[in-house]
Amino acid sequence: MPALNSAYSNAHRLSNTSASGFGHWGQDRPLFSASTIQIGKRQKFWVSRKGADNVAVMGGNLHPDVGLSEQSTMRERISTLYLDANGVGARIVFVDTILRGLFRYSNGDPAPKWLRRYNQVNLLFAELRDANSRLSYVADWRDAFLQSPWLNVELCNINNLLHLGRCLLEIRKYDLIVISHAAAGDDMELLKRIGHFLHRRRGKIVMFIGNEYDLLDDKLAFIRDVEPEYVCSQLPISAARHLYREETRCEIVEMPHALNPASYRVIKGTERNKDIGFIGDLYWPFVGDRERTELIEWFERNGAGHGLRCDIRKVRVTREEWNAFLNTCKGVIGAESGTYYLNERGRLLERARKYNLFENPAASFDEVFDKFYRNQQYEKSGKSISSRHFEPIGTKTCQLLIEGHYNGILQPDIHYIAIKRDLSNLPDAIARFRDESYRSRITKTAYDYVLSEHTYAHRVERLWRIITKARPNTRTGGCASTRVKRQTSS
């Protein structure tokens, strides 16, 4: 703790020190170029972007869908600190603090020629990359906050201790502090160490919970300590309250992922030469069911026999690669994310996870299920919609999904072709999928609906309205409750 505090206390001095004696390492490479314009009593900054890892402040034009009367109330945008994390671990912290923070290197930059003979140096420079490139929702949420017309955002990668320290020393200047999924996801150590700085805040904290079943006790301890005003969960609101309500006095907000239409869109001229596609990891046995896995394996075994051209890949890809793949598919398969077993407020799942990942990674599904779930009753389901359910909608790719709740957003046989959990209606689902007019109606209905209500821009606007208690704007689809808008069947 003292060492980290020392790093924070010296961050402002270090970040303003020229390192011109280090040759290429010490070139004074500006984080951004900026111009200013006077609005009201404050200056607003417009930034020419030099790469996502170096963005500091984002402004821009007022939202075209906002009326003049509302624009007049938005002149003073909310000063916002967005805490992001480019990966986890001590090695990443070193790279992001020294190479990015002190010497201003960016993604893909090579080591100086005179240091390339040292393998360890080359390995460190190889870490200058986007660690979340295969988690597209991380970039999609970040982009939505940076582009929001209501927020004046400073982006801080918490692994860069120089920039983090500078922001913490000035914590009282921010009206809003957003802790992203990436910052509160796979590692809580850095956040726990800065808790006492966050106690000195003037503004409100919004905390997004990443990987909600991982490190749950650490996340709940952080919430009790820092007391964020809002905790945002991708789970349905009843499940989120089941996990968090007894631990905190904050407002719990249902905030599922959404669509980024700038990243997931139709690529004109692309031939859809695949009938059914899938890209992603198979779920570990500790999740507690095999519904999604059995669906994938069914199409692997039987797709060709039903005359379907299937492309099943059990890998992760970047959002650019995923968008390109979706544009080559007529349909994709999937199911809700998460688990049915939130028993003991997530502790049962955590025990199964630790056993499966660390004690017996080779355990079969039946072995894990028998050990942890066989005699358990569902207390509260943690099944939810994910970003992977919105992205095909943006590319107008039909989805064949295991029937579920999907946070009340997607409706069966309206926004997707529903498959029963036991797969008993697969022949009928495939027949409907082959009907081009039916398939087109499903994809168009889903596309129009999601574009009108469920983009990341809608999510950020809704959060802004919750925080400011502003009235919804029907032109931009705002909603000022703790629940997302639901689709009701006609």
Q: Helix and strand tally (H, E) in the chain?
A: 19, 14
Same domain? For 39 and 138 the reply is: yes
Same domain? For 324 and 183 the reply is: no
In a domain, 476, yes or no: no
What is the model's pLDDT at position 487? 59
SS3 for 49? coil
Report residue 380's pLDDT band, with 50, 70 and 90 as the boundaries: confident
What is the model's pLDDT at position 477? 36
Rounded to an integer, what distance in angstroms lies between the CA atom of residue 68 and that of residue 475?
Answer: 13
What is the model's pLDDT at position 323? 97
Predicted confidence (pLDDT) per residue in 299-328, tens digit: 999 999 999 999 999 999 999 999 999 999
Same domain? For 43 and 93 the reply is: yes
pLDDT tops 60 at residue 343: yes
The per-residue DSSP string of 183-241 comes to TTSS--HHHHHTHHHHTT-SSEEEEE-SSTTSSHHHHHHHHHHH--SEEEESS-HHHHH
Rounded to an integer, what distance in angstroms lies between the CA atom of residue 56 and that of residue 46?
Answer: 10
Please tell me which residue, 179 or 4, carries the higher pLDDT value: 179
User: Would strands 230-233 and 398-402 be described as parallel, antiparallel, or unpaired?
Assistant: unpaired
Same domain? For 145 and 245 the reply is: yes
In a domain, 465, yes or no: no
In a domain, 467, yes or no: no
What is the model's pLDDT at position 421? 95
The per-residue DSSP string of 272-308 comes to --EEEEEESPPPPGGGS--HHHHHHHHHHHHTGGGT-
Task: Say if CB 420 and CB 412 are below 8 A apart.
Answer: no
pLDDT tops 80 at residue 23: no
What is the model's pLDDT at position 313? 96
Backbone angles phi, psi at 332, to 5 degrees: -135, 160
What is the model's pLDDT at position 244? 86
Residues in the chain: 490
pLDDT tops 80 at residue 38: no
Predicted confidence (pLDDT) per residue in 360-373, tens digit: 999 999 999 999 99
Question: Residue 111 has which token pair?
Answer: 């080591």
Query: What CATH number corresponds to the domain at position 321?
Result: 3.40.50.2000
Same domain? For 74 and 13 the reply is: yes
Same domain? For 62 and 191 the reply is: yes
Same domain? For 243 and 324 the reply is: no
Question: Residue 233 has which token pair?
Answer: 């969960």
Which run of H or E residues covers position 399?
strand 398-402
Instruction: Specify whether the backbone of 313 is left (phi greater than 0), alpha (psi in -120 to 50) or beta.
Output: beta
**pLDDT > 70: what percent of the chain?**
80
Rounded to an integer, what distance in angstroms lies between the CA atom of residue 179 and that of residue 155?
Answer: 11
What is the model's pLDDT at position 311? 97
Domain count, the chain: 2
Same domain? For 240 and 294 the reply is: no
Long-range contacts formed by 241-247: CB under 8 A, 24+ apart: 242/342, 242/345, 242/379, 242/380, 243/212, 243/216, 243/342, 243/345, 243/346, 244/220, 246/345, 247/220, 247/223
Same domain? For 12 and 79 the reply is: yes
pLDDT tops 70 at residue 74: no
Same domain? For 211 and 289 the reply is: no
Report residue 378's pLDDT band, with 50, 70 and 90 as the boundaries: confident
| Structural domain for 416, as ranges | 274-340+381-452
Residue type at 429 in one-letter notation: A
User: What torsion do the CA atoms of 2, 5, 11, 13 make, to the nearest 10 degrees?
Assistant: -70
User: Would strands 176-179 and 78-84 be described as parallel, antiparallel, or unpaired?
Assistant: parallel
SS3 for 249? coil
Same domain? For 150 and 90 the reply is: yes
Same domain? For 227 and 291 the reply is: no
User: Would strands 176-179 and 151-157 be described as parallel, antiparallel, or unpaired?
Assistant: unpaired
In a domain, 307, yes or no: yes
pTM for the model stands at 0.81
pLDDT tops 50 at residue 377: yes
Please tell me which residue, 16 or 437, carries the higher pLDDT value: 437
In a domain, 267, yes or no: no
Report residue 33's pLDDT band, with 50, 70 and 90 as the boundaries: very low
Cα-based distances in Å from 268 to 271, 272, 329, 375, 467 = 9, 11, 13, 52, 40
Which parts of 56-120 are beta strand (E)? Answer: 57-58, 78-84
Kindly give, in sequence order, each residue whose CB lies less than 8 Å from that of residue 349, ignoring residues fewer than 6 positions away: 213, 286, 287, 288, 339, 341, 342, 343, 382
